[in-house]
Amino acid sequence: MMFLATERLVIRTEEQGDLESLYAILKDPYTMRFYPKPYTLD
């Protein structure tokens, strides 16, 4: 796994287990209000 870290931020390579958390963000209409539509699992 690759990562970049500072005192307040960690950026790492995505993992299979991240899908559920990422989907929770990308399906939210308010979060995605500047995109054509929220994402689906398709």
Q: What is the pTM of this model?
A: 0.63
Q: What is the pLDDT of residues 11-21, one digit of tens each?
A: 999 999 999 99
Is it the case that residue 42 has pLDDT exceeding 80?
Answer: yes
pLDDT class for 10, splitting at 50, 70, 90?
A: very high
Q: What is the pLDDT of residues 18-39, one digit of tens each?
A: 999 999 999 999 999 999 999 9
| Whole-number Å distance between alpha carbons of 40 and 37 | 9
| Whole-number Å distance between alpha carbons of 36 and 13 | 27
Angle at 30 between CA 27 and CA 32, to 5 degrees: 55
